[in-house]
Structure 1
């Protein structure tokens, strides 16, 4: 028995002593997360700058802190309703009985969070798990070591370790963590690591929620307003320098509007991100080299790289955001998740061709469609599969708390925010209270089906048909 197993046993013992925390206890834990962040906003922003090199505090406010505050506010507003039993219909032969579904906490939820949004993607699932009445154990990424370490110290200050605890460390710690017998395990990260997490969890039959990203397409319909589409795609692509699981990964567009669209992309990029202090840096040198290799591989195969910004190498910027055109189908950039400020453009002939291209690849975590044709929009919505969709913008479906957020197929399974997260970290317990007619034993439950079987039983079967 290692130290992690002992620690999990201690947390489970604390949960067993309070397996059904009241609404007030759950709300107080959520409020503590809010207080923790509000008291340390400036320090959190500085920790993220230390990890990324460049990370504007306003970007951190928008993409990290505000997302957590929003999750807290939504959970506080709706938690009382989520906890209520839900009455369900019973069949006619049980009409005097009553059935309902009771949401019940499940125990200890493990969360393995990533480096790209190390505050938001650690705390949003934790809020859902705490709202559901569980205890939480978090393993943040070691690639964002400064932020992860600071977050760990904050949680240790604001929470008892049997309520919400954190363990930091590298690959070996992550492997041991994933192998623990949690009651549920949530992972956000790459598909390759997601498979390892799922295999480890399977040893304990631990249910998993996986958010795995993938190659998110942006489809530009021939009816789209190119200026607006370009502005939205530039923002979605360059926020956090594309180190976002639902960043537009590539664009599908018709040949006759490609040149105009690229000009609009450059105009939008120059308008939004000309200040080098507002374009986040790569998390580390490995990430930078990944971007460089993707571009050089595409160019070596015949692609053309077009800079998005007109002030190359300004200030401390280490990588120039680019559009790639004439990209070979064999280029790595069309097969690997980019996770950076590189935007390949793929030419398609029409909506049907765009749909076929998307469907020939693994299901993405998100899909973006731009245009005015309701017919074409409906075709894309009905004939493609993705975790979520935003129409005529990017990213925004992920910030709506009332919408579930998660993947499908290779982009993940389950959801871990809002009501969907509460449900994921709860057991929907079905309950039937059997009663007889008018409070008597007449026609009560299984009574009419009890042996010995006779004509009365046969009549019952005919009636049930």
Structure 2
């Protein structure tokens, strides 16, 4: 566990090194990305084992699909495009100031702080790190205390691949996380809850540290009357049940017509039976991370049920697991309908039509993701244009996060700023504006004293 003194010393080493290397060549950036790639390849087994141990049950295959593969993809994308991203970019010059020229020079910000969550402990470290490294920065990562074995594994493995003044792993509880957020980073990226995000932003404000906040919210799914319901259920259930719903962009609730409800429930039950057979001994389904989260979900479910919601359980009760279920006719005031669920509970809200679904979404806080299932182009366009969310999928869910050329980020309560790919490079870089004056120019003609010469020029320059 990192002490407060170590935290300060580690940051000082990173900060000092960053100020001694203000221009970071592609060779250095490339090496750091390749070292990250090597760590993932060579230490895959202990990392997957640590994640599984922290969850109590999480399939290595699921962790590979959800964490390792997209992490490798992000690194490869940065290695392919990073050298081009870091080149200076031409900018136009106003005719008044020609023959001067302008350009934009991307520069490393310096030291990037990353506060990572527990639900995807590997991917949500690697993604920000890729962007920090390709932009030429050094980084310091605070890993969630809710995945202690993974945190310990990373703290042990990272020094085998990186110098302490390139990348440092910080472990510890909420007190260390709070102290971490007060450090004068050149950029701070936080992934977690909206409530904690507010504290992080408040702490960063004291240092005027720019922040990227990747939060959450209730990501809705619109199912149009013309949608292929079987395909919609297949994708919605997949997105909801992977990692037991502990995904910030998991479908949080479904909006569909009254006539679709019974068939949706039937198809969802059939889907669950097919994909998670032998429930009593099934090892493909991820366990809820800890007892506190399990109790929270059960309390919210009980509250909804006691206030008239219909709960459709998809499996038998099982020790230490929350039984996956559908919930319909839940009162709007209950916690399931007010808070991000982060578990294998899927509320269903019936509406009259797509416009009613859009209206339902738009009177609520803007979500991190929004999904629509429809076949008619005009319906799809209606949903794309008239909802506001961090990101969107059409006829699928969650997969936008795995696209390296798409920015990933929220809006309002679901986040601030975005990263991934070129967007992440630019977020982690200072895009310095440069104006280059030529020996012969017209600027001197506009200098005081403002006599006849200047007045004559103004006749040509005034709008």
What is the SS of the residue equivalent to 1:264? helix
Long gaps (5+) in structure 2: none
Residue 115 (structure 2) aligns with? 112
Is residue 2:271 matched to residue 1:290?
no
Contact 1:398–1:405 (CA under 8 A) maintained in structure 2: yes
What is the SS of the residue equivalent to 1:278? coil
Count, aligned residues: 456
**Counterparts of 2:421 and 2:121, CA distance in 1:** 19
1:287-330, CA deviations, whole angstroms, 9 ceiling, x for partnerless residues? 11111111101101100110234xx246x662210000111111
Residue 65 (structure 1) aligns with? 68
Which residue of the other structure, out of 232, 236, 249, is the alignment partner of 1:233? 236
Which residue of the other structure, out of 385, 394, 399, is the alignment partner of 1:396? 399
Which residue of the other structure, out of 456, 459, 463, is the alignment partner of 1:462? 459
Deviation at 1:445, TM superposition (A): 4.8
Contact 1:211–1:413 (CA under 8 A) maintained in structure 2: yes
Contact 1:137–1:165 (CA under 8 A) maintained in structure 2: yes
Residue 131 (structure 1) aligns with? 134
Deviation at 1:26, TM superposition (A): 0.5
1:36-91, CA deviations, whole angstroms, 9 ceiling, x for partnerless residues? 11111111111111111111111110111111101100000000110111101111
Contact 2:7–2:170 (CA under 8 A) maintained in structure 1: no
TM-score under structure 2 length normalisation: 0.96
Which residue of the other structure, out of 231, 254, 258, is the alignment partner of 1:255? 258
Is residue 2:283 matched to residue 1:277?
yes
1:241-269, CA deviations, whole angstroms, 9 ceiling, x for partnerless residues? 00000000000111011111111111222
**Counterparts of 2:341 and 2:26, CA distance in 1:** 42
Matches within 5 A, 1:55-454: 55-274=58-277, 276-309=282-315, 312-313=316-317, 318-435=321-438, 441=440, 444-454=441-451
Deviation at 1:239, TM superposition (A): 0.5
Structure 1 stretches of 4+ moved >3 Å: none
**Counterparts of 1:270 and 1:322, CA distance in 2:** 12
1:84-105, CA deviations, whole angstroms, 9 ceiling, x for partnerless residues? 1110111112231211101000
1:160-206, CA deviations, whole angstroms, 9 ceiling, x for partnerless residues? 11000011000000000001111111000000000000000011111
Contact 2:10–2:164 (CA under 8 A) maintained in structure 1: no
Long gaps (5+) in structure 1: none
What is the SS of the residue equivalent to 2:302? helix
**Counterparts of 1:242 and 1:446, CA distance in 2:** 62
**Counterparts of 2:257 and 2:246, CA distance in 1:** 27
**Counterparts of 1:182 and 1:348, CA distance in 2:** 47
**Counterparts of 1:278 and 1:463, CA distance in 2:** 74
Contact 2:10–2:168 (CA under 8 A) maintained in structure 1: no
**Counterparts of 1:207 and 1:68, CA distance in 2:** 24
TM-score under structure 1 length normalisation: 0.96
Contact 1:235–1:272 (CA under 8 A) maintained in structure 2: no
Deviation at 1:331, TM superposition (A): 1.3
**Counterparts of 2:310 and 2:12, CA distance in 1:** 57
Q: Cα gap change, 1:445/1:415 in structure 2, threshold over 3 Å: closer, same or farther?
A: farther
Deviation at 1:2, TM superposition (A): 4.7
**Counterparts of 1:238 and 1:459, CA distance in 2:** 73
Deviation at 1:3, TM superposition (A): 4.3
**Counterparts of 1:461 and 1:426, CA distance in 2:** 39
Moved more, 153-162 or 108-117: 153-162
**Counterparts of 1:204 and 1:4, CA distance in 2:** 17
Deviation at 1:7, TM superposition (A): 2.7
**Counterparts of 2:342 and 2:321, CA distance in 1:** 15
Moved more, 242-251 or 285-294: 285-294
Contact 2:138–2:165 (CA under 8 A) maintained in structure 1: yes
| CA RMSD across the alignment | 1.3
Contact 2:204–2:211 (CA under 8 A) maintained in structure 1: yes
Deviation at 1:6, TM superposition (A): 3.3
Q: Cα gap change, 1:322/1:451 in structure 2, threshold over 3 Å: closer, same or farther?
A: same
Residue 52 (structure 1) aligns with? 55
What is the SS of the residue equivalent to 1:238? helix
